[in-house]
């Protein structure tokens, strides 16, 4: 919290705005004390004098110094503006939060009233109220305050609605806590920040409105004076002494700007951190480290078997983080052969999705991809993008995302979105592309495909959308499908259909599959080979058949044991992994898993184990662990889960 406020001051704009606001407030406090008598001093010898060394901005029709009067007027102008904005905020809060307290029916009526009030122009309302409340400062304050209220009511209403939808409000209701109490304890604290920001900006516009009203003669009346009043007086003599109008004008401008900029920079500072740039985001090619462990089954590029679809060596991904570049993928090497299904499993933050985005070149401007080699069907993916390569990738590489709702454009028909792939990459005519879209939807077992292509994404169920997404990948003739948590958002029965579909496509056309999931059971069922990722590295690479019976890394074994299946022993507690995953911004020395590992020793904390095949194991089973395959000790009875410090 504190950190975010200091961030506001740290930007040049934020600093300037803060200094301006502090200066204006200081002037409002000190002005009348220092120059009060000077500003009131009548000098009949110098009536309407032009600017001089004695009166820097000249004098008014009673010979009073205009600069001093402007400085002194700061207090009244600011106080009136703040009073008005307070009225606006308080009324807005009451009106905006009332719908939640009152319940559905009367709340809806009130909300409708507020919505109508918002539609009236603010200044018109202010003029209306000024007439109702009479000419003078009180009337003007009420007028501007009440005219500002609907906007705040609307804002509050929206913010309250957002917080009320959260589960902690539902939990409080389930506890039997009254609505008013929920409002005060749970809702208001969570909407305070945006309200404060908007109130600050509102103070600036209240100041301007006030000046406007005073200038029109509807605001402050003589002998009191604020900036608007001084402006009104100054305009009358603008041809005699321009400074008389310009100085109060400049004061209004500066103060208004101060409040507005302060509000803006607070809003910006409290928002999402901008992050630290990486410089030019270009793919880089790293020198191949001499001691880099070669992926299983081959040693050099020369004797590369021709059936390798995807070849990844020493892949690294770097993304900007709040405290400097973060490396979520740290040296990942693997290859995928034709028709092979590779599963990548790991907890959130293990770098599995980043790996997928890096190999499909979808990381774009969000991060930097480095690798000793990154080849797809023999094409270098690190080379600069060309039209030819885009076409090849567009037709031979398919990506399936977790949330198919956001992966489709909701405003276009499914068929058109599928056909676009074919017209764009394969140069098909629109008619041929449309026919292929129908054919492909049928191929992913969407019933009544000719009618379905004319529907929009929201008319498809979740599972159907995911199948359509796969169908989109099949518009070309893919050699590789990369699926990132394709079934996580789906029900079990639908999940099974999607997994079966992926398997069928793989069998039919010898398509390779990279399936990314947090669920070892899903991956174990569909894939041939499994890569287990932890803290941006592959810690084990093993055949899927060995996952349950012959996993050698303590993390893999814990992951398998932690998930209950239909044969889990009900008498025993499930295995758990103590602690929490490594923060990619702060990867420890040595083995990243050491802190959570029951086998960890001094060597684990000092040296990061390489990913190698075991001396007695099969060459296709690689593991990165100094204690691979050692028996795990009985789980120690940990009493508490430690409190984890914030990063």
Partner 1 sequence: MSELRFDDVTVRYGRTAAVDGVSLAVPPGAVVGLVGESGSGKSTLARAAVGLAPIAGGRITLGGVPVPARGRSRPLQMVFQDPYSSLDPRMTVGASVAEAMPPGGSRADRRAEVERLLELVHLNPACAGAVPARLSGGQRQRVALARALAARPRVIVADEITSALDVSVQGAVLNLVRELQRELGLSMLFISHNLAVVRYVASHVAVMRRGRLVEQGPAARVLTEPGHEYTRELLAAVPGRTTRRSRP
Residues 586-625 contacting partner 1, CB under 8 A: none
Q: Report helix, strand or coil for 321.
A: coil
Cα separation of 142 and 427, whole Å?
67
Work out the number of other CB atoms within 10 angstroms of the CB of residue 569: 8
CB of 101 to partner 1, least distance (A): 15
> What residues numbered 489-518 form the site for partner 1, per CB under 8 A?
491-496, 499, 518
Closer to partner 1 by Cβ: residue 89 or 163: 163
Shortest CB 504 distance to partner 1, Å: 16
Q: Does 404 bind partner 1 (CB under 8 A)?
A: no
User: Is residue 632 near partner 1 by the rule CB under 8 A?
Assistant: yes
Angle at CA of residue 84, ends 83 and 89, nearest 5°: 95
Choose the binding region for partner 1 from 214-222, 415-423, 470-478, 541-549 (rule: CB under 8 A).
541-549
Q: Does 161 bind partner 1 (CB under 8 A)?
A: no
Identity of the residue, 391 or 445, whose beta carbon is nearer to partner 1 in the bound complex? 445
Binders of partner 1 among 330-359, rule CB under 8 A? 347-348
In order, the DSSP letters of 409-426 are: -TTS-HHHHHHHHHHHHS
- Contact between 288 and partner 1 by CB under 8 A: the answer reads no
Helices (H), 487-601: 492-509, 520-526, 547-550, 554-562
Report, in Å, the least distance between residue 9 CB and partner 1: 22
Is the sign of the CA dihedral 171, 177, 178, 182 positive or negative?
negative
In the block, which residue shows the tokens 């007439």?
131
Q: Which of 115, 158, 409, 576 binds partner 1 (CB under 8 A)?
A: 576
Shortest Å, Cβ 534 to partner 1: 11
Among residues 145, 212, 524, 584, which is the contact residue for partner 1, using CB under 8 A? 524
Q: Determine phi and psi for 379, rounding to 5 degrees.
A: -90, 135
State yes or no: residue 646 binds partner 1 (CB under 8 A): yes
Determine which residue in the list 3, 12, 176, 615 makes contact with partner 1, applying CB under 8 A. 176
Any idea which residue has 């020369």 for tokens? Answer: 302
43 binds partner 1 (CB under 8 A): no
Q: How far is the CB of 189 from partner 1 (least distance, A)?
A: 4
Alpha-carbon distance values, 327 to 319, 353, 637 (Å): 6, 13, 34
**Closer CB to partner 1, 189 or 271, in the complex:** 189
Site for partner 1 (CB under 8 A): which residue of 352, 529, 537, 557? Answer: 557
Output DSSP code: residue 574. Answer: P
Q: Which two tokens mark 318? A: 């770097």
ω before 223 within 30° of 0 (cis)?
yes
Q: Which is nearer to partner 1, 160 or 418 (CB)?
A: 160
- 469 vs 522, beta carbon nearer partner 1: 522
- One residue of 4, 458, 580, 605 binding partner 1 per CB under 8 A: 580
What is the pairing mode between strands 480-484 and 512-517? parallel
Stretch that binds partner 1, among 95-103, 137-145, 522-530, 600-608 (CB under 8 A): 522-530
Max Cα distance, the chain (Å): 109
Shortest Cβ 167–partner 1 spacing (Å): 4
State the DSSP code for 300: S
User: What SS3 string covers 169-205?
Assistant: HHHHHHCCCCHHHHHHHHHHHHHHHHHHHHHHHHHHH
Buried-exposed string 304-322: b where 16+ CB fall within 10 A, e elsewhere: eeeebbbbbbbbbbbbbbe
The contact set with partner 1 (CB under 8 A) reads 166-168, 170-177, 185-186, 189-190, 347-348, 462, 491-496, 499, 518-522, 524-525, 547-549, 551, 557-568, 570, 573-577, 580-581, 631-632, 638-646
């Amino acid at each position: 919290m504190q950190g975010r406020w200091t961030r506001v001051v740290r930007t040049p704009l934020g600093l300037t705005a803060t200094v301006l606001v502090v200066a204006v407030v200081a002037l409002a406090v000190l002005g009348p004390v220092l120059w009060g008598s000077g500003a009131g001093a009548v000098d009949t010898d110098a009536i309407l004098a032009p600017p001089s060394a004695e009166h820097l901005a000249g004098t008014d029709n009673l010979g009073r110094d205009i600069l001093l009067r402007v400085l002194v007027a700061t207090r009244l102008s600011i106080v009136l503006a703040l009073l008005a904005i307070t009225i606006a905020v308080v009324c807005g809060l009451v009106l905006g939060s009332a719908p939640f307290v009152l319940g559905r029916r009367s709340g809806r009526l009130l909300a409708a009233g507020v919505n109508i009030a918002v539609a009236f122009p603010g200044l018109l309302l202010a003029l209306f109220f000024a007439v109702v409340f009479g000419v003078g400062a009180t009337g003007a304050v009420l007028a501007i305050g009440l005219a500002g209220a609907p906007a705040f009511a609307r804002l509050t209403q929206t913010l309250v609605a957002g917080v009320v939808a959260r589960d902690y409000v539902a939990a409080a209701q389930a506890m039997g806590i009254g609505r008013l109490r929920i409002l005060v304890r749970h809702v208001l604290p969570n909407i305070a920040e945006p309200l404060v920001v908007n109130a600050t900006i509102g103070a600036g516009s209240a100041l301007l409105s006030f000046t406007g009203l005073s200038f029109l003669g509807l605001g402050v009346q003589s002998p009191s004076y604020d900036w608007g009043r001084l402006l009104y007086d100054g305009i009358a003599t603008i041809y005699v002494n321009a400074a008389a109008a310009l100085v109060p004008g400049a004061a209004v401008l500066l103060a208004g700007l101060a409040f507005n900029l302060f509000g803006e920079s607070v809003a910006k500072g409290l928002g999402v951190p901008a992050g630290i740039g990486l410089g030019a985001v270009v793919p880089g090619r790293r020198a191949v480290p001499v001691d880099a462990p070669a992926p299983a089954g081959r040693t050099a590029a020369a004797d590369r078997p021709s059936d390798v679809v995807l070849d990844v060596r020493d892949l690294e991904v770097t993304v900007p983080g709040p405290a400097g570049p973060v490396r979520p993928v740290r040296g990942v090497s693997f290859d995928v052969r034709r028709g092979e299904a590779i599963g990548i499993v790991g907890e959130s933050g293990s770098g599995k999705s980043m790996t997928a985005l890096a190999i499909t070149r979808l990381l774009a401007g969000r991060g930097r991809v480095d690798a000793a080699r990154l080849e797809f069907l023999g094409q270098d993916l690190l080379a600069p993008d060309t039209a030819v390569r885009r076409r090849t990738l567009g037709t031979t590489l398919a990506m399936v995302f977790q949330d198919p709702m956001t992966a489709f454009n909701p405003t276009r028909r499914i068929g058109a979105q599928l056909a676009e792939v074919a017209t764009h990459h394969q140069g098909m005519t629109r008619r041929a592309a449309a026919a292929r879209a129908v054919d492909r939807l049928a191929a992913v077992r969407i019933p009544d495909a000719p009618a379905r292509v004319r529907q929009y994404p929201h008319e498809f169920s979740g599972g159907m959308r995911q199948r359509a997404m796969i169908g989109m990948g099949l518009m070309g003739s893919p050699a590789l499908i990369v699926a990132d948590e394709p079934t996580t958002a789906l029900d079990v029965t639908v999940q099974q259909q999607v997994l079966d579909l992926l398997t069928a496509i793989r069998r039919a056309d010898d398509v390779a599959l990279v399936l990314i999931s947090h669920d070892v059971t899903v991956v174990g069922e569909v894939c041939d080979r499994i890569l287990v990722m932890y803290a941006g590295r592959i810690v084990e690479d093993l055949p899927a058949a060995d996952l349950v019976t012959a996993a050698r890394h303590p993390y893999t074994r814990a992951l398998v044991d932690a998930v209950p299946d239909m044969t889990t022993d009900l008498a025993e507690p499930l295995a758990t992994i103590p602690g929490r995953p490594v923060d990619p911004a702060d990867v420890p020395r040595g083995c990243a898993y050491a802190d959570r590992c029951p086998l960890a020793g001094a060597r684990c904390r000092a040296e990061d184990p390489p990913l190698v095949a075991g001396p007695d194991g099969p060459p296709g089973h690689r593991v990165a662990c100094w204690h691979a395959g050692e028996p795990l000790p009985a789980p120690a009875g940990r009493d508490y889960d430690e409190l984890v410090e914030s990063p």
